[in-house]
């Protein structure tokens, strides 16, 4: 029997000891795999100008999946200041390695289960069992931003009231990407005996982008009549998740909203340390905890 080949990416901060703990569990459970270490993280940004070096991308392409620890990310100005002197002034810009992996490998599903573990005193309620499906490749995280927008932007009538020195981030939502993430949520619900899927949006304000997502969600839902389907505005569901989290089952949404909602749901079951994440595509997957690198705790084995 061929054992799976896993790219092992500890990354920064507590990611190192979290990966060590994960290996202890996997080995104790008798899980057999071939692990290959990969370079990723802030160290490689500072000395090479790339937090996800090409050799690591090659490793990902030659393995079956990856296990990722944590990453340190800093604002653009700080990132540039920490580059090695030989890399200063070369026009380099930092981009999150996990975001790049999601996009380059088309890991369009971010699946984040948030389940209350029996006996956990930090549970908000003991009957919480929510799975968040987050579209992972587009939305606000496509990485197209301008500290000052190109002059051509202001030829559009809608841009006339925007100051010329405004920073602008682009949000891209496509029907195809929206359809496949909603279908993935419904397929999971059917396979796992789930009762309901909630599509989260803000189409009353973000009419173009959330409108596309909502239309695609309704079209996909029509093909799964056995699963209850509902929609909710993102601000409203934040309130209802705090008030009645037991009423929710599978949540599907766009990239930024999914990032926020999955952290909220994690706190309902004890915090970020009790949540985990799968970044899943049609031919590859990267698995990770949902917390950050927590540099102040690095090497202390407290987390």
Which is catalytic among the residues 94, 202, 248, 284?
202
Whether 301 is catalytic: no
The architecture CATH gives domain 108-138+173-280: 3-Layer(aba) Sandwich (3.40)
- Tell whether the model's pLDDT for residue 216 goes beyond 90: yes
**Residue 280 Cα distances to 80, 134, 263, 266, 288, angstroms:** 31, 11, 18, 19, 11
* Same fold for the pair 1-107+282-303 and 108-138+173-280: yes
How confident is the model over 106-117, as a mean pLDDT? 97
Per-residue confidence (pLDDT) for residue 252, from 0 to 100: 99
pTM of the model: 0.93
Whether 235 is catalytic: yes
Q: What is the dihedral of CA 151, 157, 159, 163, to 10 degrees?
A: 80
Cβ count near 28 (within 10 Å): 8
Alpha carbon distance 152, 145 (integer Å): 15
Which is catalytic among the residues 50, 94, 108, 141?
141
What is the domain partition of the chain in residue ranges? Answer: 1-107+282-303, 108-138+173-280
Which is catalytic among the residues 94, 108, 259, 284?
259
What tens digit of pLDDT does each residue of 143-191 get?
899 988 888 888 888 888 899 889 999 999 999 999 999 999 999 999 9
- Tell whether the model's pLDDT for residue 1 goes beyond 80: no
Per-residue confidence (pLDDT) for residue 302, from 0 to 100: 79
Whether 259 is catalytic: yes
- Tell whether the model's pLDDT for residue 41 goes beyond 80: yes
Which is catalytic among the residues 27, 58, 235, 297?
235
Q: Which two tokens stand for residue 208?
A: 């173009």
Whether 108 is catalytic: no
- Tell whether the model's pLDDT for residue 226 goes beyond 70: yes
The architecture CATH gives domain 1-107+282-303: 3-Layer(aba) Sandwich (3.40)
């Amino acid at each position: 029997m061929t054992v799976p080949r896993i790219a092992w990416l500890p990354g920064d901060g507590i990611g190192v000891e979290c990966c060590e703990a994960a290996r202890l569990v996997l080995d104790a459970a008798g899980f057999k795999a071939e692990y290959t270490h990969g370079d990723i993280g802030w160290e490689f940004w500072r000395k090479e100008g790339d937090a996800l070096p090409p050799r690591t991308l090659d490793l990902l392409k030659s393995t079956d999946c990856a296990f990722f620890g944590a990453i340190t990310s800093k604002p653009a100005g700080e990132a540039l200041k920490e580059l090695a002197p030989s890399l200063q002034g070369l026009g380099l810009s930092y981009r999150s390695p996990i975001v790049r992996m999601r996009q380059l490998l088309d890991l369009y599903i971010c699946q984040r289960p948030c389940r209350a573990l029996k006996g956990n005193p930090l549970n908000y309620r003991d009957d919480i069992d929510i799975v968040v499906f987050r579209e992972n490749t587009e939305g606000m995280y496509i990485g197209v931003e301008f500290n000052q927008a190109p002059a051509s932007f202001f030829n559009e009538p809608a841009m006339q009231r925007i100051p010329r020195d405004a920073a602008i981030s682009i949000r891209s939502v496509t029907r195809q990407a929206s359809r496949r993430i909603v279908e993935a949520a419904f397929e999971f619900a059917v396979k796992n005996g789930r009762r309901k899927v909630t599509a989260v949006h803000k189409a009353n304000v973000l009419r173009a982008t959330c409108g596309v997502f909502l239309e695609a969600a309704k079209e996909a839902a029509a093909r799964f009549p056995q699963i209850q389907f509902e929609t909710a505005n993102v601000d409203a569901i934040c309130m209802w998740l705090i008030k009645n989290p037991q009423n929710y089952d599978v949540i599907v949404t766009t990239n930024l909203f999914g990032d926020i909602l999955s952290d909220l749901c994690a706190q309902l079951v004890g915090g970020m340390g009790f949540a985990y994440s799968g970044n899943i595509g049609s031919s590859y997957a990267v698995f990770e905890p949902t917390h950050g690198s927590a540099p102040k705790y690095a090497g202390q084995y407290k987390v």
